[in-house]
Amino acid sequence: MERISDKLLSWASVLDPAARDQALATASLEIVHPYVALMPDAHPGLGATVGSVIPTVGAVIPAAVGLDIGCGMIAVRTRLRAEDLPDDRARLREAIEAAVPLSAGHYNDALTASAEARVHELEAMAADSDFDPADPTRNWRLQLGSLGSGNHFIEVSLDERDRVWLFLHTGSRGVGKNIADRHIRIAKDAAAARRLRLPDRDLAWLEEGSGAFDAYLAQMRWAQHFALLNREEIMDRVVAQVERWAGTSVDERERINCHHNFTRRERHFGEDVWLTRKGAIDAATGVPGLIPGSMGARSYVVVGKGNALALNSAPHGAGRVYSRSAARRTFTVAQLREAMSGIEYRDTAAFLDEIPQAYKPIDRVMADSADLVEIRHTLRQIVNVKGD
């Protein structure tokens, strides 16, 4: 751990100067207390650094929670082993691609039977919060069970004992983004009205006790639950496709579902704060978590060590070192194919910006996380599904 300033602690041995400066700006805010904790995967984000843990008093920063509210991971350990799987992995990949809408702007054509109960749960939650999700996003129901694009993925992996795991990453889709955009704009307008001097307008906050704060918290929690149920819905579809492919039941042995873009009330160093994890997971003592590597790299099933200095947090992944445009300029399709050797994936240049070399080495991230989490399982991909 490095103490960059009295209000910024860092667990990142590889830290971009822009991310460092951005984190220092966030830490300088009067509402931040006691300090910002930077995770090993830290890299620049909207307003606040991705891979940062931000405790605030009497306020929440919507942009620090992020645009993909509730984004996170889910993993299922099955009873299957490598020897139980057919050789034709392309058939499974294509079946998953047919069962789960992929890419930005893609969603279900109709409300599926499997999603209906989850949609009813979300409708009831929205009604209790006096919130209409159709206001920001008319087709939000059809988004449940869709993956999105970018670094979102579905994987079939094997652990150190050749047991089969199903693993995926996604969040609250367009409805979560629309909620975030609305409240970031409201926070900026409120900051302008108060003539706040901010190092970045995206660091504008909503004050606790205000109507805007209450509305954001209610809608953020709804979007966070949407994201959790979205992962559950996709995972159920993936399980069904694996069972058809393998010709036998998956028989789940373990399921872990964790957020990495959220805020909630927590107590740290004897004080109640709003703790925002922007690209970070809850790593309190004994809490299970998931830390994915980049496309083609290994992923990890972990358990938290409850590091108080790190505000009981850990990284959410590898963390970018090349922007998407820079990755496309720097790397080649041939390099991507080499990195994905032995993994069934859709061979397309569309994924070039997700090449493992565009991210920090996951081994370095996990080494930096040694006092944050304990590794329970190490997963290696055999099938990868992504949206363009």
Closest CA to 386 of 347, 360, 358: 347
Determine the number of helices (DSSP H) and then strands (DSSP E) in the chain: 10, 17
Cis peptide before 361 (omega within 30 of 0): no
CA distance 272 to 10: 22
* 293: amino acid identity, one letter: G
Angle between helices 211-246 and 113-128 (to 10 degrees): 170
CB 171 within 8 A of CB 68: yes
Cα dihedral across residues 172, 174, 175, 179: positive or negative: positive
Cβ pair 74, 231 in contact under 8 A: yes
Give the catalytic positions in this structure: 316
DSSP string, 130-199: T--TTTT-TTHHHHTT---STT-EEEEEE-TT-EEEEEEEE--HHHHHHHHHHHHHHHHHHHHHTT---S
